[in-house]
A and B are shown apart, each in its own frame.
Chain A
Amino acid sequence: MTTTRIPAQSPPPERPSRLRPVLRGLGEVCITLGLIVLLFVFYELRVTSWFSAREQARATEQLRQRWQREPVDTEEPVDPVAGEGFARLHVPALGPDFPFTVLEGTDQSTLSAGPGHYAESALPGQRGNFAVAGHRAGRMAPFAELDELESCDALVVETDSQWYVYRVLPLRGEVDGWDPEQRGRRCSGVAPIGGPYRGVVGRTVVEPARREVINPVPGQPPGTVPRQWRSRLITLTTCHPRYSAEKRMIVHGVLTKRYPKVADRPELKPPELGR
Protein backbone atom coordinates (compact mmCIF):
# COMPACT_ATOMS: atom_id res chain seq x y z
CA MET A 1 0.00 0.00 0.00
CA THR A 2 1.35 3.21 -0.95
CA THR A 3 0.54 6.42 0.62
CA THR A 4 1.08 9.50 -1.21
CA ARG A 5 2.54 11.95 1.07
CA ILE A 6 1.82 15.46 0.29
CA PRO A 7 4.78 17.53 1.25
CA ALA A 8 3.99 20.23 3.69
CA GLN A 9 3.50 23.42 1.84
CA SER A 10 4.36 26.78 3.04
CA PRO A 11 1.46 29.21 2.71
CA PRO A 12 1.46 31.00 -0.58
CA PRO A 13 3.66 34.02 -0.44
CA GLU A 14 1.64 37.04 0.51
CA ARG A 15 1.28 39.26 -2.45
CA PRO A 16 2.11 42.76 -1.41
CA SER A 17 -1.25 44.43 -1.47
CA ARG A 18 -1.23 47.92 -2.86
CA LEU A 19 -4.49 48.66 -1.16
CA ARG A 20 -3.34 48.12 2.40
CA PRO A 21 -0.99 51.07 2.84
CA VAL A 22 -3.54 53.31 1.17
CA LEU A 23 -6.29 52.18 3.55
CA ARG A 24 -4.03 52.53 6.54
CA GLY A 25 -3.03 56.00 5.45
CA LEU A 26 -6.67 56.94 5.00
CA GLY A 27 -7.52 55.69 8.49
CA GLU A 28 -4.68 57.64 10.01
CA VAL A 29 -5.78 60.81 8.23
CA CYS A 30 -9.34 60.37 9.54
CA ILE A 31 -8.12 59.88 13.12
CA THR A 32 -5.84 62.89 12.78
CA LEU A 33 -8.68 65.10 11.49
CA GLY A 34 -10.84 63.97 14.42
CA LEU A 35 -8.10 64.94 16.88
CA ILE A 36 -7.75 68.32 15.16
CA VAL A 37 -11.49 68.98 15.53
CA LEU A 38 -11.30 68.09 19.24
CA LEU A 39 -8.34 70.42 19.60
CA PHE A 40 -10.35 73.16 17.89
CA VAL A 41 -13.17 72.76 20.42
CA PHE A 42 -10.61 73.07 23.22
CA TYR A 43 -9.23 76.17 21.49
CA GLU A 44 -12.67 77.80 21.14
CA LEU A 45 -13.73 77.20 24.72
CA ARG A 46 -10.47 77.56 26.64
CA VAL A 47 -7.55 78.97 24.72
CA THR A 48 -9.51 81.98 23.43
CA SER A 49 -10.41 82.78 27.04
CA TRP A 50 -6.73 82.92 27.99
CA PHE A 51 -6.07 85.45 25.22
CA SER A 52 -9.21 87.39 26.14
CA ALA A 53 -8.36 87.53 29.83
CA ARG A 54 -5.10 89.28 28.94
CA GLU A 55 -6.84 91.78 26.66
CA GLN A 56 -9.60 92.42 29.21
CA ALA A 57 -7.03 93.03 31.96
CA ARG A 58 -5.20 95.49 29.71
CA ALA A 59 -8.44 97.37 28.89
CA THR A 60 -9.37 97.51 32.57
CA GLU A 61 -5.95 98.83 33.54
CA GLN A 62 -6.10 101.54 30.86
CA LEU A 63 -9.57 102.55 31.98
CA ARG A 64 -8.51 102.73 35.62
CA GLN A 65 -5.56 104.93 34.73
CA ARG A 66 -7.75 107.23 32.62
CA TRP A 67 -10.28 107.58 35.43
CA GLN A 68 -7.50 108.42 37.86
CA ARG A 69 -5.98 111.02 35.53
CA GLU A 70 -9.26 112.77 34.75
CA PRO A 71 -10.96 113.69 38.00
CA VAL A 72 -14.74 113.45 38.23
CA ASP A 73 -16.14 116.87 37.46
CA THR A 74 -18.86 116.39 34.89
CA GLU A 75 -22.07 114.43 34.59
CA GLU A 76 -21.85 114.50 30.81
CA PRO A 77 -20.83 111.11 29.46
CA VAL A 78 -17.38 111.09 27.91
CA ASP A 79 -17.40 110.02 24.25
CA PRO A 80 -15.81 106.56 24.09
CA VAL A 81 -12.87 105.78 21.81
CA ALA A 82 -13.35 102.83 19.43
CA GLY A 83 -11.75 99.66 20.75
CA GLU A 84 -11.08 101.09 24.22
CA GLY A 85 -12.84 100.51 27.51
CA PHE A 86 -15.16 103.25 28.79
CA ALA A 87 -17.39 101.64 31.42
CA ARG A 88 -17.61 98.69 33.80
CA LEU A 89 -20.53 96.29 33.82
CA HIS A 90 -21.37 94.69 37.17
CA VAL A 91 -23.97 91.91 37.27
CA PRO A 92 -24.07 90.50 40.81
CA ALA A 93 -26.52 87.76 39.77
CA LEU A 94 -23.98 86.31 37.35
CA GLY A 95 -21.35 85.63 39.96
CA PRO A 96 -17.70 86.39 40.47
CA ASP A 97 -16.64 86.64 36.79
CA PHE A 98 -18.05 90.14 36.81
CA PRO A 99 -17.38 93.07 36.57
CA PHE A 100 -16.21 93.34 32.97
CA THR A 101 -14.82 96.41 31.27
CA VAL A 102 -17.10 97.37 28.37
CA LEU A 103 -15.29 98.47 25.21
CA GLU A 104 -16.51 100.68 22.40
CA GLY A 105 -17.51 98.81 19.23
CA THR A 106 -18.75 95.35 18.29
CA ASP A 107 -16.15 94.14 15.78
CA GLN A 108 -14.54 90.77 16.47
CA SER A 109 -11.27 92.07 17.85
CA THR A 110 -13.06 94.39 20.29
CA LEU A 111 -15.41 91.65 21.45
CA SER A 112 -12.50 89.32 22.08
CA ALA A 113 -11.36 91.75 24.80
CA GLY A 114 -14.76 91.92 26.52
CA PRO A 115 -18.36 93.06 26.11
CA GLY A 116 -18.70 95.68 23.34
CA HIS A 117 -21.00 98.68 23.06
CA TYR A 118 -22.97 99.08 19.80
CA ALA A 119 -21.41 102.38 18.75
CA GLU A 120 -24.61 103.93 17.41
CA SER A 121 -26.64 103.18 20.55
CA ALA A 122 -27.06 105.44 23.59
CA LEU A 123 -24.39 105.86 26.26
CA PRO A 124 -24.98 104.69 29.85
CA GLY A 125 -27.71 106.71 31.57
CA GLN A 126 -28.89 108.47 28.42
CA ARG A 127 -32.44 108.31 27.10
CA GLY A 128 -32.67 105.55 24.53
CA ASN A 129 -30.97 102.18 24.56
CA PHE A 130 -27.48 101.41 25.87
CA ALA A 131 -26.78 98.23 23.88
CA VAL A 132 -23.92 95.81 24.60
CA ALA A 133 -22.89 92.56 22.88
CA GLY A 134 -20.89 89.78 24.55
CA HIS A 135 -19.76 86.23 23.86
CA ARG A 136 -21.73 83.30 25.24
CA ALA A 137 -19.02 80.63 24.79
CA GLY A 138 -15.26 81.07 24.61
CA ARG A 139 -13.42 84.41 24.95
CA MET A 140 -14.22 84.48 28.68
CA ALA A 141 -17.92 84.21 27.74
CA PRO A 142 -19.04 87.26 29.74
CA PHE A 143 -22.69 86.61 28.83
CA ALA A 144 -22.59 82.81 29.20
CA GLU A 145 -25.35 82.74 31.82
CA LEU A 146 -27.57 85.47 30.44
CA ASP A 147 -30.42 82.93 30.33
CA GLU A 148 -30.31 82.69 34.13
CA LEU A 149 -31.14 86.36 34.72
CA GLU A 150 -34.51 86.97 36.31
CA SER A 151 -36.68 90.05 36.32
CA CYS A 152 -35.39 92.82 38.60
CA ASP A 153 -31.80 91.46 38.63
CA ALA A 154 -29.43 94.42 38.78
CA LEU A 155 -27.24 95.38 35.80
CA VAL A 156 -24.96 98.06 37.21
CA VAL A 157 -22.95 100.24 34.83
CA GLU A 158 -20.05 102.21 36.26
CA THR A 159 -18.77 105.18 34.25
CA ASP A 160 -16.11 107.75 35.06
CA SER A 161 -18.55 109.79 37.13
CA GLN A 162 -21.68 107.72 37.82
CA TRP A 163 -23.15 104.41 38.87
CA TYR A 164 -26.25 103.52 36.84
CA VAL A 165 -28.44 100.75 38.23
CA TYR A 166 -30.53 99.10 35.53
CA ARG A 167 -32.83 96.20 36.34
CA VAL A 168 -34.10 93.42 34.08
CA LEU A 169 -37.66 94.12 32.87
CA PRO A 170 -40.52 91.69 33.66
CA LEU A 171 -40.17 88.47 31.68
CA ARG A 172 -42.74 87.44 29.10
CA GLY A 173 -44.88 85.35 31.44
CA GLU A 174 -44.81 87.98 34.19
CA VAL A 175 -46.03 91.02 32.25
CA ASP A 176 -49.71 90.30 32.79
CA GLY A 177 -50.66 90.92 36.37
CA TRP A 178 -47.31 92.50 37.32
CA ASP A 179 -47.85 93.93 40.79
CA PRO A 180 -45.02 96.21 41.96
CA GLU A 181 -46.32 96.06 45.54
CA GLN A 182 -45.99 92.30 45.69
CA ARG A 183 -42.56 92.29 44.12
CA GLY A 184 -40.95 94.19 46.96
CA ARG A 185 -38.21 96.80 47.10
CA ARG A 186 -35.88 94.90 44.79
CA CYS A 187 -38.27 95.62 41.94
CA SER A 188 -38.95 99.28 42.67
CA GLY A 189 -38.88 101.14 39.37
CA VAL A 190 -39.41 97.96 37.34
CA ALA A 191 -42.72 97.43 35.53
CA PRO A 192 -43.93 96.79 32.01
CA ILE A 193 -43.47 100.16 30.30
CA GLY A 194 -46.38 100.11 27.84
CA GLY A 195 -47.05 102.51 25.00
CA PRO A 196 -44.46 102.09 22.26
CA TYR A 197 -42.64 99.74 24.65
CA ARG A 198 -45.46 97.20 24.65
CA GLY A 199 -43.85 93.87 23.86
CA VAL A 200 -40.44 94.85 25.29
CA VAL A 201 -39.84 92.17 27.91
CA GLY A 202 -36.91 91.13 30.06
CA ARG A 203 -35.63 88.38 27.82
CA THR A 204 -36.28 87.25 24.24
CA VAL A 205 -34.66 85.06 21.61
CA VAL A 206 -34.65 86.54 18.10
CA GLU A 207 -33.19 85.96 14.66
CA PRO A 208 -29.74 87.56 14.16
CA ALA A 209 -31.22 89.96 11.60
CA ARG A 210 -33.61 91.55 14.14
CA ARG A 211 -31.40 94.55 14.72
CA GLU A 212 -34.39 96.65 15.79
CA VAL A 213 -34.07 95.28 19.34
CA ILE A 214 -31.20 97.72 19.88
CA ASN A 215 -33.10 100.71 18.48
CA PRO A 216 -33.66 103.61 20.92
CA VAL A 217 -37.12 102.12 21.50
CA PRO A 218 -36.69 98.37 20.89
CA GLY A 219 -38.75 97.19 17.94
CA GLN A 220 -39.71 100.71 16.80
CA PRO A 221 -37.96 102.43 13.87
CA PRO A 222 -35.52 105.08 15.15
CA GLY A 223 -37.06 108.53 15.29
CA THR A 224 -40.68 107.49 15.80
CA VAL A 225 -40.58 108.30 19.51
CA PRO A 226 -39.28 111.77 20.44
CA ARG A 227 -36.19 111.74 22.61
CA GLN A 228 -37.88 113.21 25.68
CA TRP A 229 -40.43 110.37 25.74
CA ARG A 230 -37.87 107.61 25.57
CA SER A 231 -37.09 105.47 28.59
CA ARG A 232 -33.52 104.77 29.60
CA LEU A 233 -32.90 101.14 28.70
CA ILE A 234 -29.99 98.72 28.63
CA THR A 235 -29.91 95.84 26.13
CA LEU A 236 -27.53 92.89 26.26
CA THR A 237 -27.15 90.64 23.20
CA THR A 238 -25.42 87.27 22.92
CA CYS A 239 -25.50 83.99 20.97
CA HIS A 240 -28.28 81.48 21.40
CA PRO A 241 -28.30 78.57 21.89
CA ARG A 242 -24.96 78.40 23.65
CA TYR A 243 -22.14 77.11 21.37
CA SER A 244 -24.12 78.22 18.33
CA ALA A 245 -24.80 81.49 16.58
CA GLU A 246 -28.11 80.51 15.07
CA LYS A 247 -30.14 83.02 17.08
CA ARG A 248 -29.57 85.83 19.55
CA MET A 249 -30.61 86.09 23.17
CA ILE A 250 -31.68 89.60 24.13
CA VAL A 251 -32.01 90.95 27.68
CA HIS A 252 -33.65 94.34 28.26
CA GLY A 253 -33.35 96.33 31.48
CA VAL A 254 -34.57 99.74 32.61
CA LEU A 255 -32.68 102.42 34.58
CA THR A 256 -33.97 102.54 38.13
CA LYS A 257 -31.30 104.47 40.03
CA ARG A 258 -28.26 106.62 39.62
CA TYR A 259 -25.54 107.40 42.12
CA PRO A 260 -22.87 110.02 41.43
CA LYS A 261 -19.35 108.89 42.22
CA VAL A 262 -17.56 110.69 45.03
CA ALA A 263 -14.14 111.72 43.82
CA ASP A 264 -12.29 111.29 47.11
CA ARG A 265 -14.19 108.13 48.14
CA PRO A 266 -13.63 105.79 45.18
CA GLU A 267 -14.31 102.76 47.37
CA LEU A 268 -17.98 103.71 47.78
CA LYS A 269 -20.22 101.29 45.86
CA PRO A 270 -23.95 101.15 45.31
CA PRO A 271 -25.80 98.88 47.76
CA GLU A 272 -27.09 96.91 44.75
CA LEU A 273 -23.65 95.36 44.41
CA GLY A 274 -24.04 93.73 47.82
CA ARG A 275 -21.66 93.43 50.74
Chain B
Amino acid sequence: MYAWIWRHLPGSVPVKVVQAVVLVAVVVAVLLFVVFPWVEPVLPFTDPTLE
Protein backbone atom coordinates (compact mmCIF):
# COMPACT_ATOMS: atom_id res chain seq x y z
CA MET B 1 0.00 0.00 0.00
CA TYR B 2 2.63 2.51 1.11
CA ALA B 3 5.06 1.32 -1.59
CA TRP B 4 2.35 1.71 -4.19
CA ILE B 5 1.61 5.26 -3.04
CA TRP B 6 5.35 6.09 -3.05
CA ARG B 7 5.72 4.81 -6.62
CA HIS B 8 2.81 6.88 -7.80
CA LEU B 9 3.96 10.16 -6.29
CA PRO B 10 5.40 12.28 -9.08
CA GLY B 11 8.75 14.07 -9.07
CA SER B 12 12.17 13.50 -7.54
CA VAL B 13 12.79 12.00 -4.10
CA PRO B 14 12.81 15.29 -2.13
CA VAL B 15 9.58 16.31 -3.85
CA LYS B 16 8.09 12.93 -2.99
CA VAL B 17 9.12 13.33 0.65
CA VAL B 18 7.36 16.69 0.85
CA GLN B 19 4.22 15.24 -0.70
CA ALA B 20 4.29 12.28 1.69
CA VAL B 21 4.57 14.56 4.72
CA VAL B 22 1.66 16.66 3.47
CA LEU B 23 -0.44 13.53 2.90
CA VAL B 24 0.24 12.26 6.43
CA ALA B 25 -0.64 15.67 7.88
CA VAL B 26 -3.91 15.76 5.97
CA VAL B 27 -4.88 12.26 7.17
CA VAL B 28 -4.02 13.12 10.81
CA ALA B 29 -6.02 16.36 10.61
CA VAL B 30 -9.05 14.61 9.16
CA LEU B 31 -8.88 11.99 11.93
CA LEU B 32 -8.46 14.51 14.76
CA PHE B 33 -10.98 17.09 13.67
CA VAL B 34 -13.61 15.08 11.79
CA VAL B 35 -13.50 11.34 12.40
CA PHE B 36 -12.68 11.18 16.14
CA PRO B 37 -15.20 13.84 17.27
CA TRP B 38 -17.77 11.91 15.27
CA VAL B 39 -17.08 8.40 16.61
CA GLU B 40 -16.29 9.44 20.17
CA PRO B 41 -19.85 9.85 21.53
CA VAL B 42 -20.52 6.23 20.57
CA LEU B 43 -17.56 4.94 22.60
CA PRO B 44 -18.07 4.29 26.31
CA PHE B 45 -14.90 5.88 27.70
CA THR B 46 -15.73 9.28 28.99
CA ASP B 47 -19.21 9.63 30.48
CA PRO B 48 -18.85 11.02 34.02
CA THR B 49 -22.59 11.40 34.69
CA LEU B 50 -25.00 9.06 36.42
CA GLU B 51 -27.52 7.25 34.28
A-side residues, CB < 8 A to B, are: 24-25, 28-29, 32, 36, 39-40, 43-44, 47, 106, 108, 111, 116, 118, 133-139, 143, 208-211, 213-214, 237-239, 243-245, 248
17 contacts between A and B (CB under 8 A): A24-B3, A28-B1, A28-B2, A29-B1, A32-B1, A39-B31, A43-B31, A43-B32, A116-B49, A118-B49, A118-B50, A135-B48, A208-B51, A238-B48, A245-B47, A248-B48, A248-B50
Partner of B36, one of A40, A133, A137, A139: A40
Assess whether B10 is interfacial by the CB under 8 Å rule. no
Q: Is the CB of A209 within 8 A of B51?
A: yes
Chain A residue contacts of B1, Cβ below 8 A: 24-25, 28-29, 32
Q: Is the CB of A138 within 8 A of B28?
A: no
B-side residues, CB < 8 A to A, are: 1-3, 28, 31-32, 36, 40-41, 44-51
Shortest 10 CB-CB contacts between residues of A and residues of B = A211-B50, A238-B48, A133-B49, A106-B49, A28-B1, A43-B36, A239-B48, A245-B47, A133-B48, A209-B51
Chain A residue contacts of B44, Cβ below 8 A: 245
Q: Is the CB of A213 within 8 A of B46?
A: no
- Bound: A213/B46 CA distance, A: 19
Chain A residue contacts of B50, Cβ below 8 A: 118, 133, 208-211, 213-214, 237, 248
Chain A residue contacts of B48, Cβ below 8 A: 111, 133-136, 143, 237-239, 245, 248
- Bound: A210/B31 CA distance, A: 35
A194 to chain B, nearest CB (A): 25
Chain B residue contacts of A118, Cβ below 8 A: 49-50
Known: A28-B2, A108-B41, A209-B51. A239 touches B46 (CB 8 A): yes
Chain B residue contacts of A106, Cβ below 8 A: 49
Chain B residue contacts of A108, Cβ below 8 A: 41, 47
- Bound: A47/B32 CA distance, A: 8
Q: Is the CB of A111 within 8 A of B49?
A: yes
Q: Is the CB of B32 within 8 A of A39?
A: yes
- Bound: A237/B45 CA distance, A: 15
- Bound: A196/B44 CA distance, A: 34
- Bound: A116/B47 CA distance, A: 12
Chain A residue contacts of B2, Cβ below 8 A: 28
Known: A28-B2, A39-B31, A43-B32. A244 touches B45 (CB 8 A): yes
